[in-house]
Amino acid sequence: MLHSRSRRNIDMTQGPLWRDTLLFALPLIFSGFLQLLFHAADTIVIGRFSGSQALAAVGSTGSLNSLLVSLFIGFSTGANVVVARFIGAKDHKKANTAAHTAVSISLIFGLFLAVFGFFLARPMLKLMDSPDDIIDLSVLYVRIIFLGMPFQMLYNFCSAILRAAGDTKRPLYFLTAAGVINFVLNLLFVIGFHMNVAGVALATIISQAVSAAMAFRSLTMRDDCVRIHIKKLKIDRRDFIEIARIGLPCGVQTSMFSIANVLIQSTRNSFGSVVIAGCATAMNLGNFISQVPNAFAQAVTSFAGQNIGAKKPRRILHSMIYCHVWNTAITLVMGLGGYIFGEKLLSLYNTDPEVVYWGLQQFRVVNVPYFLLGFQSIFSGALRGMGFSILPMIISLVGICLFRVLWVMTVFKATPTLLCLNISYPISWILTGIAAGITFAVFFKRVKKQFEASSLSGHSL
């Protein structure tokens, strides 16, 4: 096997970190934007051509989808860390075995989610108190979306492997092609064939199949240690255990956000379909901003993983600092820009003045301070890259899920307004950011001492 590095790859163990962290994260940000465009295109086309009920049906399912998918996508983060660590340590054979394990488990997870989501869509939506006037449309949308889960899982795991190797550009190219296909098919199915929510769901899974096929093919065509051979696809027990050790807590951590969001969505559903539609549009715009802290969290995870393997702890600290700086600058610009042009942006989704009004109420409270989310995300990403996944999970469990549950049961119950509900977001981000920062400081100091002791004794960790 050849081990040459593609010019597309960033060597995370050397070079200027202020530049490389940004170059690594920018394609991830744009890739996140394109993934969101799948759902945004659904929402815009539905809102414009199928009415507020169909818009509410699509918008009200986002939290449920995230809840079920995030646990398994967390394993892709585990795969990223394990592969990156082997690459940083120059252990090409183990990196290749881990890559094959990651692709194999992605297919198994995808099939499981397809069956689970299809048959349990209605019971789960009923648990969320989905309004009677939209539940049939919501069930149809969720079932079709989950039939495409094998494609979504395969794409995410293949992208995680590419990130571990320092390549974030090609996933962007794949999503660009898929995004164009998604938008064209949305127009064809909804306007041309009058397929309503079924049309946008079908367009989404077809485009996801395209991106998955391109990502998988790129791994089979590589000439380095993460090249995939179909005949070699199998699960290595030791790699799976290590991927699960890091990825499962990460998935649970991400699920904490989703569980909290399901609770918030269930509470928000009590305000009626117009408020649901307005908040759904604001959430779509907010999700674009959230891709920035997500991207820098993924970046610092990969940088930490490779530099743990290369035994360079200072680069972990410095990469984290630069990720914080870049994240704060970019998200503040996006948040304030969205605040200024919020009414025009929301009108792209739906021109109903009442829908726009309620969307603005959420936008100003939740979307503008999104930079606060970056502190928790980046600190947690660095901890995961160093191999500590349980502590970020606990922080999210307490600071995100438990806090918002208690907030809804106490503060919101006393003041049942949309403003009171939405303000729980930035407060929880502040609390978890402080906790994650303290945790990182403690465990980074421990890792640094271990490396120093190992260097003095002449042994590796």
Q: Which helix (H) or strand (E) holds 20?
A: helix 17-49
Q: Classify 316 as helix, strand or coil.
A: helix
What is the pTM for the complete model shown? 0.81
> What pLDDT is stored for residue 1 in this prediction?
39
Mean pLDDT of the chain: 87
Secondary structure of 154-195 as H, E, C letters:
HHHHHHHHHHHCCCCHHHHHHHHHHHHHHHHHHHHHHHHCCC
> What pLDDT is stored for residue 69 in this prediction?
80
Taking the alpha carbons at both ends of the chain, their separation in whole angstroms is 27
HSE, side-chain direction, 13 A CA sphere, residue 90: 4
Long-range contacts of the stretch 233-242 (C-beta < 8 A, 24+): 233/100, 233/103, 233/104, 234/100, 234/101, 234/104, 235/101, 235/104, 235/105, 236/97, 236/98, 236/100, 236/101, 239/82, 239/94, 239/97, 239/98, 239/101, 239/102, 240/101, 240/105, 242/78, 242/82, 242/98
Question: What's the CA gap between 420 and 83, in Å, rounded?
Answer: 43
State the DSSP code for 312: -
Q: Give per-residue pLDDT as tens, 394-410.
A: 998 898 888 988 999 99
Question: What's the CA gap between 176 and 197, in Å, rounded?
Answer: 23
DSSP per residue over 285-300, as a string? Answer: HHHHHHHHHHHHHHHH
> What pLDDT is stored for residue 5 in this prediction?
44
DSSP per residue over 381-442, as a string? Answer: HHHHHTT--HHHHHHHIIIIIIHHHHHIIIIIHHS-SHHHHHTHHHHHHHHHHHHHHHHHHH
Residues of the chain with pLDDT under 50: 1-6, 459-461
Q: Give per-residue pLDDT as tens, 418-450.
A: 889 989 999 999 999 999 999 999 999 998 888
> What pLDDT is stored for residue 211 in this prediction?
93
Task: Please work out, in degrees rounded to the nearest 5, the angle formed at the alpha carbon of residue 215 by the alpha carbons of 213 and 221.
Answer: 100
> What pLDDT is stored for residue 435 in this prediction?
96
> What pLDDT is stored for residue 461 in this prediction?
45
Q: Classify 12 as helix, strand or coil.
A: coil
**CB–CB of 333/55 below 8 Å?**
no
List all residues 6 or more positions away from 240 whose beta carbon is below 8 Å from its beta carbon.
101, 105
List all residues 6 or more positions away from 262 whose beta carbon is below 8 Å from its beta carbon.
63, 64, 67, 128
Percent composition of the chain: helix, strand, coil (DSSP 3-state, to 5): 85, 0, 15
Q: Which among 77, 37, 129 has a CA at the least distance from the CA of 380?
A: 77
Cα distances (angstroms) measured from residue 369 to each of 323, 339, 455: 17, 10, 43
> What pLDDT is stored for residue 71 in this prediction?
77
Q: Give per-residue pLDDT as tens, 134-184.
A: 889 889 999 999 999 999 999 999 999 999 999 999 999 998 998 889 889
> What pLDDT is stored for residue 336 in this prediction?
86
**CB–CB of 244/80 below 8 Å?**
no
| Phi-psi label, residue 364: left if phi above 0, alpha if psi -120 to 50, beta otherwise | alpha
**CB–CB of 79/102 below 8 Å?**
yes
Cα distances (angstroms) measured from residue 289 to each of 170, 305, 372: 22, 25, 11
> What pLDDT is stored for residue 80 in this prediction?
94
Question: What's the CA gap between 409 and 406, in Å, rounded?
Answer: 5
